[in-house]
Amino acid sequence: MVPAAVISFALVIYSIKNSKTALLFLLILFSSSCLFAQVTPVDTIKPGNGPVKEQLKQIKNAKKTIKDTTGNQPAKNPFIDTTIRNKYGDLLNDDPKYNPKYPFWKPLAGVLGVNLFTWSMDRFLLNESFSHIGPATWKYNLRKGWEWDDDRFGVNFIAHPYTGSMYFNQARSQGYNYLQSVPFAAAGSLMWEYFGENTRPSYNDIINTTANGAFLGEVFYRLSSNIYDDRTRGGERVFREIFGGLIDPVRGFNRLLEGKTFRRTTTDVYQKEPLNITLAAGIHKINVDNNTILGNGPTNTLISLQIDYGNPLEDRKRKPFDYFTFRTEFSFGSGRKVLDNVLGYGVLFGGNTHLGKLSMLYGAFQYYDYWDNMTFELGTIGFGGGVVTKLPITDDIIAFTTVHLAGVPLAGNSTRFGPDTSQVRDYTYNNGFEAKFASTINFGTYVTTSVEYYYYLLHAFYGPASNNHIGILKPKITVHIVKNLSLGFEHFIYYDNRYIKTFPAIHSVRTEQKIFLSLYLEDPQRKGDYEQ
């Protein structure tokens, strides 16, 4: 579902950019370094047009007659606008008139519905052994309590977070904000752990489902908001509703139940942020021997997607996920693993400042890292601090840099040395720290160079006791070919140093080389403001 969601989003944005309706859609995607302000109430009837009493009467009548086309909710008042907007006129918050907060039992009932649907698929379609439940299994789970489970890596670090995103968006799509929606992800996980399967509830499931589920849920909600537009009609409206529902299925279903799918408004009612999208396709050489370049190993096809949401350098009050990056890559060829990685981070709170020519966002961030390929398995949940900067060196040379340091309350780290061929847990549960650095330098519109470095210090607390030092270095260069199409090369180096108490230390260095074509779709309203 995650690959379908992100690819669908990229396709819909690309399609919209090449249609006649794209102009409006793209112009409302905003951002630049600016201070936002509340729009000052303005009376559009000038004093010279007639007696004051008659003017007030006109305003009063206008307030009564302005209606949403559904007939049950008022539309925006053209005389007084109390919504907060950015300099381009887009909302910084969902309009509460059209996105009311429903009583808590409604999203809670939706969470139950997600679990019933999931269980029905597992029980009657897939006939999974764990789905055979009843009073006896419920009693067993309640009596025996919690454990660390042995499910496969992908189940624990991608499937459970995706399910958590559905719990989360039951609340998020019904008027609850980010923090208010997190308990619903936890409630859905608790419900499933005790009553949805016949195995004991597991600590790792509720942590992953809640934390990473909230991360993915907010990403999907924000992306779908950039697609939905209740002002549109006809084929464009159908197009938006379908693709918005693919990205966030729970929200799409709730829109249908609440009548929003067919609702028409005179103004936009959803928060929108500017988007930059990078699509890439090519090949990558995977070297199976240590310290080799273009050595033994398969050559696979790769497809990647990166989404940069929001302008981190716009001066504004920050709330969760007003700015985030989201990347994913797929590998086709050798082995059973297709989803190579899912990486991202989003701001939770912070502020903006300027130091001479240096523009900066600083604050607290949430991180989600998922690596699952022929070289290694690594999944982390992270919370910490970071800075995002832009520094014009000359008129044509600009440097963009990010630095992050975070605590890792839970991570999964493979214990193997080589590709995973098992169908059971072959990784340890860990906690620790992570650090990330990325720097990109644009030399005009001709060449872009970048380097990224990830470092993880992890202590295994469940599984073979060990301390692990993992580093990932990725230098990259892209050369502009024509318009927004570039040719790129990336060298990927993975360092792994494992110090296991009961076994000799393991030291490994693996590499990959990637050659690809990338298509950069830059939001015209944020053009040149921030590129990463």
Angstrom distance (rounded) from CA 375 to CA 300: 13
pTM: 0.83
Nearest to 386 by CA among 401, 398, 400: 401
Structure tokens at 122: 């597992």
Tell me, rounded to whole angstroms, the distance of Cα 401 from its chain centroid.
20
Angstrom distance (rounded) from CA 390 to CA 44: 41
pLDDT in tens, the chain (532 residues): 444 444 444 444 444 444 333 333 333 333 332 322 223 333 333 333 444 444 444 444 444 433 443 333 444 443 334 457 766 667 889 999 999 999 999 999 999 999 999 999 999 999 999 999 999 999 999 999 999 999 999 999 999 999 999 999 999 999 999 999 999 999 999 999 999 999 999 999 999 999 999 999 999 999 999 999 999 999 999 999 999 999 999 999 999 999 999 999 999 999 999 999 999 999 999 888 777 777 788 899 999 999 999 999 999 889 999 999 999 999 998 777 899 999 999 999 999 999 999 999 999 999 999 999 878 899 999 999 999 999 999 989 999 999 999 999 999 998 665 444 555 688 999 999 999 999 999 998 899 999 999 999 999 999 889 999 999 999 999 999 998 999 999 999 999 999 988 888 888 898 999 999 999 998 877 676 666 5
Contact (Cβ atoms closer than 8 angstroms) between residue 57 and residue 45? no
Contact (Cβ atoms closer than 8 angstroms) between residue 206 and residue 170? no
Pick among 3.40.50.970, 1.10.3720.10, 2.40.160.40, 3.65.10.10: CATH of 273-521 = 2.40.160.40
CB atoms within 10 A of CB 364: 15
Nearest to 273 by CA among 237, 219, 327: 219
Angstrom distance (rounded) from CA 22 to CA 236: 10
- Which DSSP state fits 75? -
Angstrom distance (rounded) from CA 172 to CA 177: 6
Sign for the pseudo-dihedral over CA of 167, 168, 169, 170: positive
Tell me, rounded to whole angstroms, the distance of Cα 236 from its chain centroid.
25
> Domain segments of the chain: what residues?
1-37+103-271, 273-521
Residue 65 buriedness (CB in 10 A; 0-12 / 13-18 / 19+): exposed
CB atoms within 10 A of CB 70: 15
Nearest to 340 by CA among 300, 381, 298, 295: 300
**Strands (E) located in 425-484:** 427-443, 447-462, 466-482
Structure tokens at 192: 């499933």
Angstrom distance (rounded) from CA 343 to CA 329: 9
Q: Which residues contact 491 (CB under 8 A, 6 or more apart)?
A: 293, 474, 475, 476, 511, 512, 513, 514
Length of the chain: 532
Contact (Cβ atoms closer than 8 angstroms) between residue 336 and residue 360? no
